[in-house]
Amino acid sequence: MRGYPPRMADGDKTAGARGGAGAEPEEAYTAEPFVPRRGGLAALRRAAAGCRGCPLHRDATRTVFGEGDTSARVLLIGEQPGDQEDRQGKPFVGPAGRVLDRALDEAGIDPGQTYVTNAVKHFKFSRDPAHGKRRIHKPPTLREMSACGPWLAAELALVEPEVVVVLGATAGKALLGSSFRVTRQRGALMEEDVHGRTERLVATIHPSAVLRADKDDRDAVYGGLLADLEVAARALG
């Protein structure tokens, strides 16, 4: 296992710590002080449960950390937890997760031997005034993605995957910056510097795009997702 990414000095912890009543400027957002220096997945998950690295923790039910095989050859990164993931505390347990599992299986990648996570660990949402308690997904900002970056860096260092599958535009921007476009970069094996390490990446759509597609287009959208995952499967040899 590679060491976790460099962490800010103990004396700098207060710069990123949250929990006060005052609003923090976005440039101060960072999870860095909350990431443990050592330990495995359980230690990371325990620490992430107390993360106050950005304001998203205030409204979310809980932190939703990554799950799966820490010796996995494939690590998949989505955007953020959805409503069901926020309630259950596990990534990709909703309808999009079922689409993803089906596509992985058909591509020749055992879903049970992968590690799945999200670029952002808390559910960002707004309330639907017409439906009271209904929570409507809101995409995270670039600063919120960046704030969560230390958790993602720690997961990559722990798992050391052979291939990273980037699910959707938000995950791509979190890893590769704001210029990432899934429509241009999907379906090809790329080597990129990610958190100071060279990773092999395959980008594709988020599986929720299959669910949002018109009925007449759904098979084609799913077929595109499957084709991209087959690129990842072939990269494993």
Using alpha carbons, select from 69, 59, 7 the residue that is nearest to residue 35.
Answer: 7
Side chain identity, residue 52? R
- Residue 217: both structure tokens together: 């287009």
Who has greater pLDDT, 131 or 176?
A: 176
* Dihedral in degrees, nearest 10, Cα atoms 203, 208, 213, 218: 70
CATH superfamily membership of 24-235:
Uracil-DNA glycosylase-like domain (3.40.470.10)
What's residue 51's pLDDT? 96
Cβ-based neighbour number of residue 69 at 10 Å: 17
Cβ-based neighbour number of residue 168 at 10 Å: 23
What's residue 162's pLDDT? 98
User: Where would I find the beta strands (DSSP E) of the chain?
Assistant: 67-68, 74-78, 114-118, 125-127, 135-137, 163-167, 189-194, 197-204
Using alpha carbons, select from 101, 201, 210 the residue that is nearest to residue 161.
Answer: 201
Tens-digit pLDDT profile for residues 12-39: 333 333 334 445 556 679 999 999 988 9
Using alpha carbons, select from 167, 120, 122, 168 the residue that is nearest to residue 143.
Answer: 120
**pTM assigned to the model:** 0.86
**How would residue 7 be classed by pLDDT, with cut points 50, 70 and 90?**
very low
Q: Under a CB-based contact definition with an 8 Å cutoff, are residues 70 and 115 in contact?
A: yes
* Dihedral in degrees, nearest 10, Cα atoms 88, 90, 95, 100: -170
Question: What ranges do the domains of the chain cover?
Answer: 24-235
Who has greater pLDDT, 4 or 211?
A: 211
196-220: average pLDDT: 96
What's residue 196's pLDDT? 85
Who has greater pLDDT, 128 or 71?
A: 71
